[in-house]
Amino acid sequence: MIFDPSKIDRISLLEVFFTCHDPTQLNRQGNDIGPHYRSVIFYNSESQRRDSYSVIDEMGDVYSSEIVTEVSPLKNFYVAEKYHHDYFKNNPSNPYCMVIVAPKIAKTRAKHAHLYE
């Protein structure tokens, strides 16, 4: 999926990002551990960097622990292997998708239902 600012603004996208994972876990998401599971936002402009920190500040009141999301300049971008594209959509009966991903998707869709209008 490609970000289209005519469909969703950057602030709303960041708010969705903070809803669909736990930004208070350093280098992990639940039982998935390691720096590749870290919460991170990569920016390529000063306005993107400012927006990232602005939303982090706003979201600080939502979580009982400190947000540890990294905000770093984008240096390189690598497209994921094809089998990662739309993984949840293409593998709905995968146990990980059913147990871990589906509840997160449902929570995120419920919280941001206004974006589907």
pLDDT in tens, 56-85: 999 999 999 999 999 999 999 999 999 999
Mean pLDDT of the chain: 93
| Residue ranges making up the domain that contains 9 | 1-77
pLDDT tens-digit series, residues 93-110: 999 999 999 999 999 999
Question: What are the pLDDT digits (tens) for 28-61?
Answer: 988 889 999 999 999 999 999 999 999 999 999 9
Question: How far apart, in whole angstroms, are the C-alpha atoms of residue 75 and residue 38?
Answer: 17
Q: Does 34 share its domain with 2?
A: yes
Residues 5 and 44 in one domain: yes
Please tell me whether residues 57 and 27 are part of one structural domain.
yes
The rounded distance, in Å, linking the Cα atoms of 22 and 112 is 16
